[in-house]
Structure 1
């Protein structure tokens, strides 16, 4: 029997200035007790990462407070993914990582489509990298490592890779080392989901104009983004930052028929003096808008804005420090008043460009909320379903790291 190996990682969070911390640790082989050099250690969806030295030590500086996924990869060891909370206080953790010597026994070799990239490459690029002009300047440098498998039974396409994907985003000025765990596209309803862990690295240039262009483009991308919304929601700055939240209710044909009849009765009752209104004033907005739905329309957005304290609840400090729980019924419609819908999005949606504010719909398909943090991160992401502008715009080509600071 082959020996069982683990890696022990000892983590220390030391506080630095501006609410940032230094993440330090040591990586050891639990069987031999010897340090492991060359282990890649990074915080997912950030530009914060390093490798262990010959003594197995590593140090990551300038880590903003928040919750992150710590990723550790090493040759002949299974990838480690664990959540870490960065606070101003010191913390120590011991983490175990299994060796590939045992993991490989459980791996089932999966077949893939030999012509996968030719058949599904465009789906992958449009839904993972993006459909906008950013796609032209954000490219995958090693597409041959991406494999595809079409499932005829449920009409889905899955993409996977046994090597990290290497991207170069010349629009935002980042290279991205992406550990893809899963990507699945449903051809029936054009919905997709993916899981992965990116490490960002800022590109360098001797051209001052290029550096300024990257800075400007990052800020423009940040304004109105999902990460900006989460940060604004956390900091209670929605109004200042330009976000408005409205209740959104989806209705089926039965509900539309029921409401239209009740609203008709209400209008007739109002014509007769002495008749008691059969609808409450607070319900009129809903009934009036549902009655005006036609054809396949199935959404109504109510006029009364949602207050932050109706959807955000402080998490018990014993469970998670400096976190809020984001939960709501039905759906939310989020509008960002400082940016109009761009031409490419309106072309995709068959709308007039630069007329309406960008807006997105958020729902909780599993009726479970998510925990949000100061840096814009949130868990568990699979519980959030996006429609509208964010469904179109929130792709790899527009992704910013969680340690992005618009003031720097």
Structure 2
């Protein structure tokens, strides 16, 4: 299934809001008939529902929920800006188009059962994660996943015919993930490190009561996932509580090591090694890390304009979260030295500010890249943006 940004809307004026009820009707673009049971939700929240027998929907958006995803089996999903909904008596009409068979667009090579198993393990590791909490996540419909590896075995592309259904009883969530893209590539120029990028729209359903889970244990697990997370950090910046919440931030730059050989030289060294005519190549560090002397304060990273808050920095940010350790699996996997804090890095992929919201969300989510411990945490430990740790502590 392909998610499209195109949408057809009947608009009668727009409004901006921090919290408001939205409503409308979902119809087939060709027949104009209503679509009962269509899914509608705010991405990465527990906030959503379905259209009734007449194709009607209504629910409330809170601050930071800037988009609504509307989907229906056999139709293309639609992404609707929250500001597009009107506030008058005439209903907002969202039209969905029948899904197009994309098999002609993408040629997927046939793979063996053994290859599929191998690619599935890569996908689980890079998408769900390897931590003790993440590994409890189960994919309920693995048959919707399609895998394609290039001939060089350096690029894995994963697509899904319908939303991926995942359950994790440790975090107490059932997650429906509308996958837009997933790519995991090997970077020969970076000592064969992996770069994984994925994007999609998750919807969370709390299953604590339904599955009769231990509410206190689930609350502890969620709080553990939250502490030191990207969501936690963005909220801390928004509310100017970064230091009080346990975050220490410094800017740094990466300078190319002048002693690092060219790619042609590296290729020649590996070729000599493969022919057993040379030693195993031992390369110097490619980049030197240069930190600024002073720690960053919120006012150096966040500014306000017309009632909105924006996050901006150049080069890289190094983020230390002082109130939790890195998981032993992370330390072992990356051959790190165990510390009493978590270390992460952030980089803006475009040189322009990013709007941030009180709930820990931020606009243009594909523009902020995370590395280190934040980057290691994947979907298996992700929380919805309407998660509130205060209510957990109160219990």
Please identify, of 103-112 and 300-309, the stretch whose mean Cα deviation from structure 2 is larger.
103-112
1:75 aligns with 2:73: yes
Conserved? CA contact 1:14–1:23, under 8 Å: no
1:137 and 1:370 map into 2 onto residues whose CA distance is: 33
The change in CA–CA distance for 1:238 and 1:391 in structure 2 (over 3 A counts) is same
1:378 aligns with 2:376: no
Conserved? CA contact 1:13–1:21, under 8 Å: no
Match runs of 1:11-160 below 5 Å: 21-29=20-28, 34-61=33-60, 63-84=61-82, 94=92, 96-100=94-98, 103-104=100-101, 108-115=105-112, 116-152=115-151, 155-160=154-159
The change in CA–CA distance for 1:39 and 1:326 in structure 2 (over 3 A counts) is same
Residue of structure 2 equivalent to 1:201: 205
Local SS of the residue matching 2:322: strand
State the shift of 1:330 in Å. 1.2
CA deviations on 1:221-247 (whole Å, 9 max, x unpaired) are 111110011111111111221112111
Residue of structure 2 equivalent to 1:308: 298
The change in CA–CA distance for 1:10 and 1:51 in structure 2 (over 3 A counts) is farther
Please identify, of 398-407 and 369-378, the stretch whose mean Cα deviation from structure 2 is larger.
369-378
2:106 and 2:163 map into 1 onto residues whose CA distance is: 18
Structure 2: where are the runs of 5+ without partners? 1-6, 188-192, 261-283
The change in CA–CA distance for 1:295 and 1:10 in structure 2 (over 3 A counts) is closer
Conserved? CA contact 2:154–2:185, under 8 Å: yes
CA deviations on 1:80-103 (whole Å, 9 max, x unpaired) are 01332599x9689956545127x5
CA deviations on 1:293-346 (whole Å, 9 max, x unpaired) are x8556213333011222222324x4xxxx5322221111111112112232222
Conserved? CA contact 2:24–2:92, under 8 Å: no
Residue of structure 1 equivalent to 2:230: 226
Aligned counterpart for 1:406 among listed residues 380, 385, 389:
389
Conserved? CA contact 1:68–1:84, under 8 Å: yes
2:175 and 2:25 map into 1 onto residues whose CA distance is: 25
For the pair shown, the structure with the greater C-alpha radius of gyration is 1
Conserved? CA contact 1:77–1:97, under 8 Å: no
Conserved? CA contact 1:324–1:372, under 8 Å: yes
Please identify, of 322-331 and 136-145, the stretch whose mean Cα deviation from structure 2 is larger.
322-331
2:16 and 2:363 map into 1 onto residues whose CA distance is: 24
Local SS of the residue matching 2:223: helix
Local SS of the residue matching 1:66: coil
Conserved? CA contact 2:148–2:156, under 8 Å: yes
- Note the aligned Cα RMSD (angstroms): 3.3
State the shift of 1:135 in Å. 3.3
TM-score normalised according to structure 2 size: 0.79
TM-score normalised according to structure 1 size: 0.77
State the shift of 1:59 in Å. 2.1
Please identify, of 145-154 and 105-114, the stretch whose mean Cα deviation from structure 2 is larger.
105-114
State the shift of 1:124 in Å. 0.5
2:231 and 2:346 map into 1 onto residues whose CA distance is: 14
Match runs of 1:241-252 below 5 Å: 241-252=245-256
State the shift of 1:378 in Å. 1.4
Residue of structure 1 equivalent to 2:263: none
Local SS of the residue matching 1:128: helix
The change in CA–CA distance for 1:255 and 1:230 in structure 2 (over 3 A counts) is farther
Alignment length, in residue pairs? 354
Conserved? CA contact 1:46–1:199, under 8 Å: yes
Residue of structure 1 equivalent to 2:216: 212
Conserved? CA contact 2:24–2:91, under 8 Å: no
The change in CA–CA distance for 1:9 and 1:29 in structure 2 (over 3 A counts) is farther
Conserved? CA contact 2:174–2:204, under 8 Å: yes
1:207 and 1:155 map into 2 onto residues whose CA distance is: 41
Please identify, of 197-206 and 44-53, the stretch whose mean Cα deviation from structure 2 is larger.
197-206
